[in-house]
Chain A
Amino acid sequence: MPHPLLETRDLTVRFGGHVAVDHISCSFNAGELTAIVGPNGAGKTTYFNLISGQIGATEGTVQLNGHDITRMSVAQRTHRGLGRAFQLTNLFPDLNVLENVRLVIQSKAKRGFNMFSLASSHDDLTAPAMEIVERVRLGDQTQQVVSELSHGDQRKLEVALLIALDPLVYMFDEPTAGMSVDEAPIVLELIAELKARTDRAILLVEHKMDVIRTLADRIIVLHNGALAADGDPATVMASDVVQEAYMGRDLELADG
């Protein structure tokens, strides 16, 4: 019996009169990869922002591992086990690849307030950072400044930061957007590897249906900010809501 790691209850946010996320109640279990789909502007990223705390909820709560985290800061939620990779690449542009990842490991080790030792002397932080950099195939570019990386490599690093955080709940927001056909599989493989960890929950916002088909255990559909469908992939994809929600752009759905 899987237990919910993450649960949102009536989670809502209004921007002026516009309800971007509308009373979404949903729970996410350990060992499960949930794909979140919906047309552009459906509220997927905003839903993520509410969960990870970048935006405060107008209404409703977020529970992580049975604790209410609705009022917590972003950093607190991160330490509780929420991790997020961003739709728009969001890195430390003037630092090098290794340092980007090392900073995450350092945060996890809670050594940020260590003021009198040399950062470079903490080998126990550098070593795992190096390992992750290699896992995302950036091993040749450890010393490269991030702003000089190709878009694809920046996307890989974006994923690397999340893997370095190793949260209880992984949140990927279109991780392969804009990646070339030979680069995307590297990221998808990494996500597939994470799926093998039965004590983690994975949330994946994704447009590409072939990806969803191979990875997802479950699909939820957002439409105009509300939860429009929720279930196993085959059922949801066949449902009317999905057909409607994707009207006009359902090619991806149809032939994956």
Chain B
Amino acid sequence: MLNTILSGDLPRSKVLAAMLVAILVCLALAPFIFPGVRSVDTAARICIFIVLVASYDLLLGYGGIVSFAHTMFFGMGAYGVALSSKHMGAGFDALAIGAASGALLAALLALVIGLFSLRVRAIFFAMITLAVASAVAVLVSQLSGITGGEDGLSFKIPRALGPAFKFADIELFGVKMNGKLLKYYLVFFSCLILFLLMLRIVHSPFGRVLLAIRENDFRAEAIGYRVVHYRVAATCLSAAIAALAGALYAIWLRYVGPDTTLSMELMIDILLMVVIGGMGTMYGAVIGATIFVLAQNYLQNLLNVAGQAVADVPLLPQLLNADRWLLWLGVLFILSIYFFPTGIVGRLRKGN
């Protein structure tokens, strides 16, 4: 049973298994274990980034394809939901249509980019995606009439997903049974399903072909796999799933803007999360996204505490100033890549 759900991909390391179970339990029960707006918000972000990063891993770790357009696809789902909700009014139909059309458009655009560039060489694809993603980002900020420009778009979501909606008049462990809770679980279960779906895809016959192509595309072609077709298919899949993650993100934030979905910084974050977690492992996305989002959200607090603790020592307080959190994040990543070149998951599995 578990084997089927996980597509036969057991963690193969006790530490990894423990980490994954801990993350799953924490995310599944986040509203109850960590009540408070900020922590639930962090949990939802982790869920969404796990899917986003895993969809990038499908491309990079399994397909061996470097893309810089992943945030663009993420953004297409987010803007899809925002625009449909703006134009159709708040409603689940608007959310579904927005998410579906965002995913479809993302897949179509990926198809076009893929067919144009993947025939030539994989590196060409990286350059094209960079160009297209930059162009789209500029376009989005210019077409402010439609997209809200740099300010982005705020929109309404169905009442059933808002805090005003009470579906039961009790409090469970002090948590109100309201629409906000429903929204969290909408995000959580959607992400869980999408993740398990990707886990299945990488262990399907198709996933094996991707691995074969990554290992030796020349021979993959020689035994009869049209390498271009498989690469394009992987690109489309990955784009569509990224768009769905984007749709969830927009629903969660009730807002979409260039900074939250389209920025190059976000693209680099995704790359880092994949590499830190471990490329080509899927579970790496879980570990990488969790650590990264936590660090992003709590490193500043941690530094504050540490800074106060060493307030009397010279120099150290300046170094541990909360404003230096980005520096420390950088140091953390360099260290983790240095010590775990195959990512945390790769390291843990090898340790067995």
Nearest-neighbour CB distance to chain B for A158, whole angstroms, equals: 10
- A residues 28-86 near B (Cβ < 8 Å) are 52, 54, 73-76, 78-79, 84, 86
B 181-234 contacts with A by CB, 8 A: 200-201, 203-209, 211-212, 215-216, 218-227, 230, 233
With A99-B208, A113-B206, A119-B204 in contact, do A52 and B222 touch (Cβ < 8 Å)? yes
Q: Smallest CB–CB gap between A120 and chain B, Å?
A: 6
A119-154 interface (Cβ within 8 A of B): 119-120, 122
Which residue on A lies nearest to B213, using beta carbons?
Answer: A92
Which residues of B sit under 8 angstroms from A75, Cβ to Cβ? 221-222, 224-227
Query: Would you give the shortest CB distance from B206 to chain A, in whole angstroms?
Result: 4
Q: Which residue of A lies closest to B230 (CB)?
A: A112
Q: Is B205 a contact partner of A122 (Cβ separation < 8 A)?
A: yes
Q: Contact check: which of B216, B218, B225 meets A112 at CB < 8 Å?
A: B225
* Residues of chain B within 8 A of A74, CB atoms compared: 221-222
Q: Is the interface of B mostly helix, strand, loop or mixed?
A: helix
Cα–Cα distance between A76 and B228 once the two chains are bound (Å): 12
Cβ-based interface call for B8 (8 A): yes
- Whether B7 sits at the interface, judged by CB under 8 Å, is yes
A54 to B207, CA, bound (A): 24
The verdict on A90 contacting chain B, using a C-beta distance below 8 Å, is yes
- The answer to whether A106 and B216 have CB atoms under 8 Å apart is no
Q: How large is the interface on A (under 10, 10 to 19, 20 to 34, 35 or more residues)?
A: 35 or more
Name the A residues within 8 Å of B208 (CB-CB): 99, 102-103, 106, 119
Whether B203 pairs with A112 at a CB distance below 8 angstroms is no
Residues facing A in B26-82 (CB within 8 A) are none
B212 & A78 in contact (Cβ 8 Å cutoff): no
Whole-angstrom distance between the Cβ of A125 and the nearest chain B Cβ? 8
Instruction: Judge whether A90 and B216 touch: CB under 8 Å.
Output: yes
A92 to B8, CA, bound (A): 21
Give the shortest distance, in Å, between A96 (CB) and chain B (any CB): 11
A84 to B219, CA, bound (A): 10
Q: Residue of A at shortest CB range from B218?
A: A90
Q: Which residues of A contact B (CB under 8 A)?
A: 52, 54, 73-76, 78-79, 84, 86, 90-95, 99, 102-104, 106-108, 111-120, 122, 161, 165
A73-B221, A78-B224 are known contacts; what are 5 more A-B pairs with Cβ within 8 Å? Answer: A75-B227, A92-B212, A92-B215, A106-B208, A107-B223
The 4 closest A-B pairs by CB, nearest first: A78-B224, A107-B224, A92-B215, A114-B205
Question: Can you spell out 8 A-B residue pairs with CB atoms less than 8 angstroms apart?
Answer: A93-B215, A106-B205, A106-B208, A113-B233, A114-B204, A115-B207, A118-B7, A118-B200
